[in-house]
């Protein structure tokens, strides 16, 4: 039986999700930057035979501003029915965290202060006196290290004691100017009586006439003007304030100042540390990672290293997986023959569905299984906000948000991840820019094909190849910025929104958990979606390569039909067919092109030299190769990404633009390359 | 007493906030993370491209763009 419902709240980056996971055992992804949890996760834990429900609210800095996450948290805490709150604070930055905790304590009568990452703080020479914290605030307080499962028992006990009212949870109130307190005193009982929610914090926000909160209340309960008791009380409260020389405009500032000073006061008697000493390690790391000369080169090296590991490390397991899929395919074939399956159906199942499926898994799984854990480690250390910090100026001049640098990094792994990741961008306009331009960045599915084309047609020296690949990525970054700018001058008009970016303390990632989490949360999720689209794609591809019209396969027919059109853009019909058929997953584009040229069925690519010769024999020149590379960078997002864009934006318009913008860019660039090459060669 | 906007601070410099001229949502956000009158700030990081700069405020490191930091005025500590 569930005996109570507890909300988990706190600033971003305080390990709130780690606490939630540790208590409930539910696996939810946690990352070291602002705003990872959007939407509300729920879970339960059991202790002493009692079951308690936990609600993990999005991390926020306050209950006032109108970002989507803060609204979710504020509305939940103000208007939902629940029995108490746990505010998770970061021990390394208690003072700032307490500002939010004080807001919650002034709203939720039963609040526990849970100071997380005590181990990190100890290591940095920060001492926190939990007893004093409890004494100074009047609230129950507990110190834990959720990542090491320390102190969780005490927290669970405390939650139960609080629910059973075995301990005092009387918050020692913040002192506000006397007139404000008197006005709030008028308002509080009426608020409670008319709307059913209490707390000094919402009363103050109404006195301030804070537009976000006022409209949230009016949306739920109707206009204040229509409620006579409420409007006369508000007028009276306002009169009390004006008589004492306090204007509505000043209320917000006064509330903030009083809460901030209260947090400072509490910390004076609870926290012992030398800030300089606590931050000196981060300062040293940052002098390299965000340093004037080193910051950007080190960032490039770091990402280069991650790619190199991904691409080179994936080769061997990829080969093994595709061998395994061939062997299993052989068994399946025998099995199907044994049960007297019609040959056409057998071919469709084996040569169509199974081969494409095997292909997608073999090509996608290994790079993802390497890239995502590496990326999650970078994420957990707190490095990613530094990337945004380093590159923000470039994005600002493109009318976009520095955090887009992060969604681009995620896009290097997988477009769908990049699109979901765009949630970290607060401004809706800037988030859409990041989503629409996300497919400009070559993902794990396209990079190997681009590398193969470079090696086959331009250079076999690894140094020159790497240089050319860097050039290719630089082109996609430049186009991202250019098109972002174009979008922010046209369909997504607006000025860059102001932003505050927290650079959290560096933390040691917990490697074991990182691997488990990134494999389960990201890799398998994306692979699952890819498998879903691969099955119908397998059918279509099989039909295209086996259905004969006038002695030609459907694929060859289609290629012939598209040829004149593709010729304008320096491509040929077969290449274009490859792109169209690889909508389910970009990984299969190159093999389909090879299949089209050879007239055969989907098979493993032979050696690089053989494939290059096959392509060349079909009139594939260096110019075609260049145009194909460019088109690989800019065409349309794969089916998985399109589904994700729909899920994130719920709008046909933005899904359409996300496909049209890269396509037009690609066609334009290829057309240009084709014209120039015709003029000069 | 000379008021200096935070964006003009050099790395390592400290100041005490005297006036917040920020408007709109950002004003509320800044106050909520502790940028109120009388708060000590220190400029601790500068992006390799010169903007944004990051400030140490109440134990947290917060990066602000130039235009936004220009609306927060401080005085050098005596």
On the question of pLDDT at A471 being above 50, the answer is yes
Domain for residue A626, yes or no? Answer: yes
Based on the fold, state whether residues A641 and A562 are members of the same structural domain.
yes
On the question of pLDDT at A148 being above 80, the answer is yes
Grade residue A65 by pLDDT with cuts at 50, 70 and 90.
low
Domain for residue A605, yes or no? Answer: yes
Based on the fold, state whether residues A98 and A243 are members of the same structural domain.
no
Grade residue A661 by pLDDT with cuts at 50, 70 and 90.
very high
- Residues linked to residue A142 through DSSP beta bridges, in sequence order: A114
Domains of chain B: 4-76 (2.30.30.90)
On the question of pLDDT at A34 being above 70, the answer is no
pLDDT at A593: 87
Based on the fold, state whether residues A83 and A198 are members of the same structural domain.
no
pLDDT tens figures, A615-648:
999 999 999 999 999 999 999 999 889 988 998 8
Domain of residue A267 covers: 178-272
Section A286-299 average pLDDT: 93
Name chain A contacts of B43, Cβ cutoff 8 Å.
Answer: none
Grade residue A373 by pLDDT with cuts at 50, 70 and 90.
confident
Q: How big, in percent rounded to 5, are the helix, strand and coil portions of chain B?
A: 20, 40, 40
Domain for residue A405, yes or no? Answer: no
Interatomic CA distance for residues A477 and A489, integer angstroms: 18
Among A508, A522, A625, smallest CA distance to A32 is for A508
Grade residue A350 by pLDDT with cuts at 50, 70 and 90.
confident
Contact indicator for A60, A101 with CB cutoff of 8 Å: no
Section A556-585 average pLDDT: 91
Which residue, A272, A304, A327, sits at the end of a domain?
Answer: A272
pLDDT at A362: 79
pLDDT at A416: 86
Helix (H, G, I), strand (E, B) or coil at A621: coil
A445 has a chain B CB within 8 A of its CB: no
Domain count, chain A: 3
Residues contacting residue A253 through CB under 8 Å, at least 6 positions apart: B20, B31, B36
Based on the fold, state whether residues A80 and A113 are members of the same structural domain.
yes
Interatomic CA distance for residues A437 and A479, integer angstroms: 9
Section A440-453 average pLDDT: 87
Contact indicator for A318, A363 with CB cutoff of 8 Å: yes
CA distance A151 to chain B (A): 24
Contact indicator for A16, A8 with CB cutoff of 8 Å: yes
Domain for residue A401, yes or no? Answer: no
Grade residue B28 by pLDDT with cuts at 50, 70 and 90.
confident
Based on the fold, state whether residues A154 and A44 are members of the same structural domain.
yes
Name chain B contacts of A62, Cβ cutoff 8 Å.
Answer: 28-29, 32-33
Mean confidence (pLDDT) of chain A:
87
Name chain B contacts of A406, Cβ cutoff 8 Å.
Answer: none
Q: Which of residues 22-51 of B touch A (CB under 8 A)?
A: 25-26, 28-34, 36-39, 44-51
In terms of DSSP H, where are the helices of A422-461?
A: 428-436, 447-457
Distance of CA A90 to the CA centre of its chain: 22
Q: Which of residues 176-215 of A touch B (CB under 8 A)?
A: 210
**A392-A397-A399 Cα angle (round to 5):** 95
Selecting from B37, B49, B62 the residue whose C-beta is nearest the C-beta of A257 gives B37
Q: Is the ipTM of this complex over 0.85?
A: yes
Section A63-91 average pLDDT: 86
On the question of pLDDT at A36 being above 60, the answer is no
Question: Higher-confidence residue: A244 or A376?
Answer: A244
Contact A396 B65 (CB under 8 A): yes
Based on the fold, state whether residues A144 and A199 are members of the same structural domain.
no
Based on the fold, state whether residues A593 and A623 are members of the same structural domain.
yes
pLDDT tens figures, A162-192:
999 998 899 999 999 999 999 999 999 999 8
Name chain A contacts of B7, Cβ cutoff 8 Å.
Answer: none
Contact indicator for A477, B35 with CB cutoff of 8 Å: no
Domain for residue A452, yes or no? Answer: no
B11 has a chain A CB within 8 A of its CB: no
Selecting from B29, B30, B34 the residue whose C-beta is nearest the C-beta of A96 gives B34
Among A436, A387, A394, smallest CA distance to A415 is for A436
Question: Higher-confidence residue: A318 or A218?
Answer: A218
Based on the fold, state whether residues A151 and A208 are members of the same structural domain.
no
Which residue, A163, A196, A225, sits at the end of a domain?
Answer: A163
Based on the fold, state whether residues A132 and A238 are members of the same structural domain.
no
pLDDT tens figures, A487-507:
999 999 887 777 889 999 898
CA distance B66 to chain A (A): 10
Based on the fold, state whether residues A11 and A94 are members of the same structural domain.
yes
Based on the fold, state whether residues A138 and A206 are members of the same structural domain.
no
Section A401-416 average pLDDT: 87
A28 has a chain B CB within 8 A of its CB: no
CA A141 → CA A134, A169, A175, A302, distances in Å? 5, 10, 21, 41
Grade residue A37 by pLDDT with cuts at 50, 70 and 90.
very low
Selecting from A61, A499, A503 the residue whose C-beta is nearest the C-beta of B33 gives A61
A340 φ/ψ sector (left φ>0, alpha ψ -120 to 50, else beta): left
Domain for residue A455, yes or no? Answer: no
pLDDT at B2: 83
A98 has a chain B CB within 8 A of its CB: no
Q: What is the CATH number of the domain that holds A229?
A: 1.10.287
Share above pLDDT 70 across residues of chain A, in percent, rounded to a whole number = 95
Q: In what order do the strands lie in the sheet with A41-47?
A: A41-47, A50-56, A2-10, A84-90, A111-116, A141-143
Q: In b/e form, how buried is each residue of B25-49, taking b as 16+ CB within 10 angstroms? A: bbbbbbbbbbbbbebebbbbbbbbb
CA A649 → CA A529, A646, A654, distances in Å? 18, 5, 7
Which residue, A272, A300, A320, sits at the end of a domain?
Answer: A272
Based on the fold, state whether residues A197 and A88 are members of the same structural domain.
no
Stretch among A230-239, A353-362, A405-414, B9-18 having the lowest mean pLDDT: A353-362
CA distance A91 to chain B (A): 10
Beta strands B60-64 and B53-57: pairing type?
antiparallel
Name chain A contacts of B29, Cβ cutoff 8 Å.
Answer: 61-62, 65, 500
Interatomic CA distance for residues A88 and A69, integer angstroms: 16
B3 has a chain A CB within 8 A of its CB: no
CA distance B15 to chain A (A): 16
pLDDT at A656: 96
CA distance A207 to chain B (A): 15
């Amino acid at each position: 039986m569930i005996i109570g419902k507890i909300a988990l709240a706190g600033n971003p980056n305080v390990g709130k999700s780690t606490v939630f996971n540790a208590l409930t055992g539910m696996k939810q992804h946690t990352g070291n930057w602002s705003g990872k949890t959007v939407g509300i996760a729920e879970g339960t834990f059991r202790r002493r035979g009692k079951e308690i429900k936990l609600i993990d609210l999005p991390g926020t800095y306050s209950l006032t501003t109108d970002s989507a996450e803060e609204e979710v948290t504020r509305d939940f805490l103000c208007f939902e029915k629940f029995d108490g709150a746990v505010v998770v604070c970061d021990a390394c930055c208690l003072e700032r965290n307490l500002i939010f905790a004080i807001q919650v304590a002034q709203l939720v009568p039963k609040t526990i202060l849970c100071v997380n990452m005590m181990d990190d703080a100890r290591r940095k020479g920060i001492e926190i006196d939990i007893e004093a914290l409890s004494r100074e605030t009047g609230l129950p307080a507990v110190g834990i290290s959720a990542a090491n499962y320390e102190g969780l028992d005490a927290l669970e006990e405390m939650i139960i004691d609080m629910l059973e009212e075995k301990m005092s949870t009387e918050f020692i109130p913040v002192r506000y100017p006397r007139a404000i307190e008197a006005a709030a005193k008028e308002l509080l009982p009426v608020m409670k009586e008319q709307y059913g929610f209490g707390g000094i914090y919402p009363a103050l926000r109404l006195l301030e006439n804070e537009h976000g909160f006022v409209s949230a209340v009016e949306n739920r309960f109707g206009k204040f003007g229509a409620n006579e008791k409420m409007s006369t009380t508000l007028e009276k409260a306002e009169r009390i304030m004006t008589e004492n020389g306090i204007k509505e405009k000043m209320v917000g500032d006064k509330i903030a100042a009083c809460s901030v000073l209260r947090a400072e006061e509490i910390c004076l008697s609870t926290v012992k540390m030398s800030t300089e000493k606590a931050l000196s390690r981060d300062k040293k790391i940052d002098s390299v990672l965000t340093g004037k000369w080193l910051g950007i080169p080190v960032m490039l090296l770091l990402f280069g290293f991650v790619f190199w590991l991904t691409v080179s490390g994936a080769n061997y397991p990829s080969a093994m997986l595709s061998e395994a899929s061939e062997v299993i395919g052989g068994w399946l074939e025998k099995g199907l023959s044994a049960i007297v399956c019609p040959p056409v159906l057998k071919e469709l199942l084996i040569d169509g569905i199974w081969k494409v499926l095997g292909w997608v898994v073999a090509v996608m799984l290994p790079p993802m299984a390497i890239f995502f854990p590496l990326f999650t480690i970078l994420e957990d250390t707190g490095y990613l906000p530094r990337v945004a910090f380093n590159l923000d100026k470039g994005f600002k001049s493109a009318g976009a948000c520095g955090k887009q640098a992060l969604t681009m990094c995620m896009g290097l792994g997988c477009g769908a991840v990049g699109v979901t990741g765009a949630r970290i961008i607060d401004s809706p306009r800037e988030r859409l820019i990041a989503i629409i331009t996300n497919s400009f960045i070559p993902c794990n599915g396209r990079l190997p094909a681009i590398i193969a084309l470079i090696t086959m047609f331009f250079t076999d020296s690894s140094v020159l190849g790497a240089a050319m690949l860097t050039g290719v990525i630089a082109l996609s970054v430049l186009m991202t910025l250019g098109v972002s700018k174009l979008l922010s001058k046209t369909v997504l008009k607006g000025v860059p929104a102001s932003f505050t970016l927290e650079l959290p303390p560096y933390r040691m990632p917990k490697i074991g958990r990182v691997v488990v989490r990134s494999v389960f949360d990201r890799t398998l999720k994306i692979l699952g979606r890819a498998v879903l689209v691969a099955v119908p794609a397998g059918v279509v591809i099989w039909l295209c390569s086996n259905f004969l019209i006038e002695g030609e396969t459907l694929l060859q027919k289609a290629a012939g039909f598209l040829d004149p059109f593709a010729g304008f853009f320096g491509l040929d019909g077969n290449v274009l067919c490859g792109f169209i058929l690889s909508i389910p997953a970009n990984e299969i584009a190159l093999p389909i092109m090879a299949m089209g040229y050879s007239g055969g069925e989907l098979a493993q690519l032979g050696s690089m030299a053989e494939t290059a010769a096959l392509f060349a024999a079909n009139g594939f020149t260096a110019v075609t190769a260049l145009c194909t590379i460019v088109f690989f960078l800019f065409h349309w997002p794969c089916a998985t990404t399109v589904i994700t864009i729909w899920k994130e934006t719920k709008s046909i318009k933005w899904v359409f633009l996300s496909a049209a913008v890269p396509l037009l860019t690609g066609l334009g660039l290829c057309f240009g390359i084709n014209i120039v090459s015709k003029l000069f060669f | 007493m000379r008021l200096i906007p935070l964006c003009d601070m050099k790395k390592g410099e400290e100041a005490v906030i005297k006036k917040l001229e920020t408007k709109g949502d950002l004003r509320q956000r800044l106050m909520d993370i502790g940028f109120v009158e009388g708060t000590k700030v220190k400029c601790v990081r500068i992006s390799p491209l010169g903007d944004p700069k990051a400030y140490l405020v109440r134990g947290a490191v917060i990066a602000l763009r130039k235009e936004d930091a220009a609306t927060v005025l401080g005085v050098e500590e005596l």
